[in-house]
Amino acid sequence: MMAAARCFSDTSDFLSIRSGDHILLDGRRFLVTGEERERRFGIEDPKFWVKRVVEEETGDRKIAKLSFFESFNTRLGELVIRCYRSPEKEERILDLCRNHPGFMQGVTFPDAKGNRVRVLEIVRGKNFMLYLDSLRMPHVQYFETELPGILRHLCEAFAAIGLLHAHGFRHGDIRNDHIIVERRSGRYVWIDFDYDFEAPENPFGLDLFGIGNILIYAVGKVFHNSYMIKNDTYTYHDLIERLEPDDFSILHPNRLVNLRKLYPYVPVMLNNILMHFSAGTSITYASVDEIIEDLGGYLASL
């Protein structure tokens, strides 16, 4: 005899909600079909608070993001910054960016205990990391044929982050798997806004360095780190002997930023944008608008 389906109007214990269960929100029933996974660097980690669901009335597939709270510290140079999850902040960004094509869309429902459950539309496409990986070609060909268009799309995506900053919000977790390259339109769409951070000295600093990481990834097509450079002499030859600590990231000391030393055809103008995020920089970007301005100047020079 088949067990009766369980129905949850209180999502506080999200670990107990499994595939086949139902979630009841504001009179709407959602069938849980599984859990989302964090897919980075070939590793898949289940996100137990993020459920794949089907809205029973419409049959539409959606993502239900349940309230989950965590905090940790990270470093930006010498600064220690507290990061934490805030479902309420993500709810407010969803409201601010309703119908904006550069952001994931969704509606927030309080459950029976007041937990803020965000029911999200699925953005169809590959994340930026997988998208670049799918472009199988030599770097020089990628640089000449694909990168200019990618940088133009990134300028639009960075302008969307500027909208958040203008309203006092931070994305909070800018990285290359939090941009989805939408399959149909080719538009770059931001997802996952529930992280926030405390950085009174530079309120948007982590967002700006996240943008820097995306640019470094885009120009290099991958991240090139010191381990790769030391151990793969077939690809990197004697590069390790020509590098200095200032050539690496201020945020990730093993990550190469000075890509012109690896790819001499990277123009100085573009490489200088990247070097704002290096350990050797004396000038950092103060706003996303400054990054967009410099990128726009480079693109106009092509």
Of 241, 239, 283, nearest to 264 by C-alpha is 239
Residue 138 or 5, more confident: 138
Read off the pLDDT of each residue in 151-176 and give the average, rounded to a whole number: 96
CA distances from 227 to 90, 107, 233 (A): 36, 44, 11
Mean pLDDT of the chain: 93
DSSP annotation of 216: H
pLDDT score at 79 = 73
Q: Which two tokens stand for residue 192?
A: 């996952």
Output the pLDDT for position 1: 42
Token pair, residue 24, equals: 């009841």
Helices (H) and strands (E) in the chain, counts: 9, 13
Sequence-ordered list of residues with C-beta below 8 angstroms from that of 141, at least 6 positions apart, any chain: none
Strand partners, 44: 39
Write the secondary structure of the chain as one string of H (helix), E (strand) and C (coil): CCCCCCEECCCCCHHHCCCCCEEEECCEEEEEEEEEEEEECCEEEEEEEEEEEEECCCCCEEEEECCCCCEEEEEECCEEEEEEECHHHHHHHHHHCCCCCCECCEEEEECCCCCEEEEEECCCEEEHHHHHHCCCCCHHHHHHHCHHHHHHHHHHHHHHHHHHHHCCCCCCCCCCCCEEEECCCCCEEECCCCEEEECCCCCCHHHHHHHHHHHHHHHHCCCCEHHHHHHCHHHHCCHHHHCCHHHEECCCCCEECCHHHCCCCCCHHHHHHHHCCECCCCCCCCCHHHHHHHHHHHHHHC
Report the percent of the chain where pLDDT is more than 90.
83
> Confidence band (pLDDT; 50, 70, 90) for 173?
very high
pLDDT (tens digit per residue) in 206-245:
899 999 999 999 999 999 999 999 999 999 999 999 999 9
**What is the mean predicted confidence (pLDDT) over 148-177?**
96
Would the pLDDT of 156 be above 60?
yes
pTM over 0.85: yes
Amino acid sitting at position 189: V
Separation of CA 102 from chain center:
13
pLDDT band at 4 (very low <50, low <70, confident <90, very high): low
Mean pLDDT confidence for 28-51: 82
pLDDT at 17 over 80: yes
Place of tokens 């200032």: 246
- Res 183 pLDDT > 90: yes
